[in-house]
Amino acid sequence: MEALREKKTERNGIHFHFIPTNKFKTVNMVIKCKTSLDKNTVTKRALLPYVLEKATQNYPNEKSLMKALDELYGADLAISGAKRGDSHVLTFRLEVANDKFLTHENNLIGEAFQLLHEILYKPYTEDGIFSEKIVEREKSNLKNNLVSVYDDKLAYANMRLIDHMCENERFSIHKNGYVEDLPDITAAALFEYYQQVLAEDDIDIYITGDIDTADLEAQAERIFHLQANPQHQMDKKESVPKHSPNTVVETQDIQQAKLHMGFRTDVTYEHPDYFALQVFNGMFGGFPSSKLFTEVREKESLAYYVASQVENYKGLLFVFSGIAPDSFRQTEKIIMQQKQAMDEGEFTEAETEEAKALLISGVKETLDNAQGIVEMFYERIVHGLKRTPEELIEGIAQVTKEDVKRVSEGVYLDTVYLLTSEEGEK
């Protein structure tokens, strides 16, 4: 594997990251705007991507903006908001075909860079604020989206588990906002908030692909003028007293029950046991060779999917599974037995080594994907850690069976959430 190198520069408070690689036929440009997750502003942040994607000063309606993207060979524009632990991150991504693979083109990348700048800094305005019409329309769009989470049972069960488990923590704030906040958001208020985002968020810009770094650096200098004064919101860690596990049962008219269990690991990126936790997760429920997959699915035929996933910003671990409503107690019991087996070190050195090898492969595979590269490099910023992909691989390679057992013993159940049918509850 050839190591990816990141060339960093700072200009007017904005951090640029150029990552050249010949792996792709397109160039990905990604802008990240980060601030603390805040219940008072989250709905506005969630609404911004909807409004910003519609129009800019030079492309005052969706049709003209789409035409501009079509001219760039159907460049893919995506703006989204996500929760990263206690932060909220807005991501603007533009993926454009690389000139190198096209006849008759020589400046697609430069034009795309210019367009991305325009989308961020020159949104379409009327009388100095966002268009009322667009904002009202997109409020209803966001509202529909918020309501329809009810139709995606897996996403709904995840959301409800976190609602209960992290009730008094910042992490329980919904990244897509709240329906009840929408009526009060005016075009003027949203525009004012957006000015604050541009001025105060931590802004990082990534460009990866078969690029000429020096050339793009010069372009960045020409294009990006505005000053940002990032406020570098650093969040205090919230501590939650350990308690005996809660069980929450909700019913709906459904065929398959969703059993979601929330554990706390108290291990985050900077923790010395971070690497061991990743190995633990792979062996417990992350890989198809895991205890959960083997026991719940292969041996007992209770589920089609059962898996565990770590949340590394907060130190959480989730187990989720789709089961017949009447097998709730049996499945829950088997899952807890597997956790117990991990605590007691009922796994071999060979299994530990296999999980480590798979995790290391996973890191390398991530670096074969442009968005994977950006996310992996950005992760380090979010945590203020200077860990390179090579160091990440080295860290995983050092994990021992004892480390995995120790980290398992520190993982404890917080909340069991079951979404089931009316009959299943009885």
Partner 1 sequence: MEQTDYNRLGEKKYQLTLPNGMQVLLVPKTELSKTYAIFMTNYGAINRMFTPLGEEEIVEVPDGIAHFLEHKLFEKEDRDVFSDFLSQGASPNAFTSFTKTAYLFSTVENAYQNVNTLLDFVQEPYFSDESVEKEKGIISQEIHMYDDQADWQAFIGTIKNMFAHHPVRIDILGTDDTIDRITKEDLYTCYETFYHPSNMTLCIAGNFNEEEMAEVIKNNQAAKTFKASETIVRQFPEETKQVAMEEKTITLPVSTPKVTIGIKESSEVIGREEFLERDTLQHMLLDYFFSQGGPFYEELYEAGMIDDSFEFSTTVEESFGFSIISTNTQDTKACGSKMIDLLLQTRNKKLTDEDVRLMKKRYIGDVLTAMNAPESIAVQLAHYHFMDIDFFSILDYAESLTTEKVNQFLQQWIKEEALTMHRIEKE
Query: Interaction with partner 1 in 366-395: which residues (CB under 8 A)?
Result: 367-370
Q: Position 214: which residue type?
A: A
Token pair belonging to 38 = 């805040």
Q: Which two tokens stand for residue 143?
A: 């509202």
Min dist CB 368 to partner 1, Å, is 5
Nearer to partner 1 by Cβ, of 36 and 57: the residue is 57
Each residue 15-34 as x (binds partner 1 by CB under 8 A) or -, in order, gives ------xxxxxx--------
Closest CA to 53 of 128, 141, 126: 141
Residue 70 makes contact with partner 1 by CB under 8 A: yes
Based on CB atoms, which residue is closest to partner 1, 132 or 298?
298
With binding defined as CB under 8 A, does residue 364 bind partner 1? yes
192 part of the interface to partner 1, by CB under 8 A:
no
CA distance 172 to 118: 33
Shortest Å, Cβ 215 to partner 1: 20
> What is the b/e burial string over 397-416, where b = at least 16 CB atoms within 10 angstroms of the residue's CB?
eebebebbbebbebbbbbbb
- Please identify, among the stretches 8-16, 133-141, 221-229, 397-405, the one whose residues bind partner 1 according to the rule CB under 8 A: 133-141
User: 280-299: which residues touch partner 1 (CB under 8 A)?
Assistant: 287-289, 297-298
Residues 160 and 417 sit within 8 Å (Cβ to Cβ):
yes
CA distances from residue 4 to 24, 160, 226, 397 in whole angstroms, order as listed: 13, 39, 29, 20
Do the beta carbons of residue 240 and residue 27 sit within 8 Å? Answer: no
Residue from the set 5, 39, 63, 333 that interacts with partner 1 by CB under 8 A: 63
Amino acid residing at 175: K
The answer to whether the beta carbons of residues 246 and 415 sit under 8 Å apart is yes
- Select the residue interacting with partner 1 from 86, 95, 201, 202 (CB under 8 A): 95
66 binds partner 1 (CB under 8 A): yes
> Under rule CB under 8 A, which residues in 153-182 are in contact with partner 1?
153
Residue 127 gets the label, from left (phi > 0), alpha (psi -120 to 50) or beta, of: left
Q: Which of 10, 151, 180, 423 binds partner 1 (CB under 8 A)?
A: 151
Stretch 31-60 residues interacting with partner 1 (CB under 8 A): 50, 53
Instruction: Return the number of the residue (233 or 369) whose C-beta is nearest partner 1.
Output: 369
Collapsing DSSP to helix, strand or coil, 323 comes out as: strand
Minimum separation from the CB atom of position 237 to partner 1 (A): 34
Residue showing tokens 């601030």 = 35
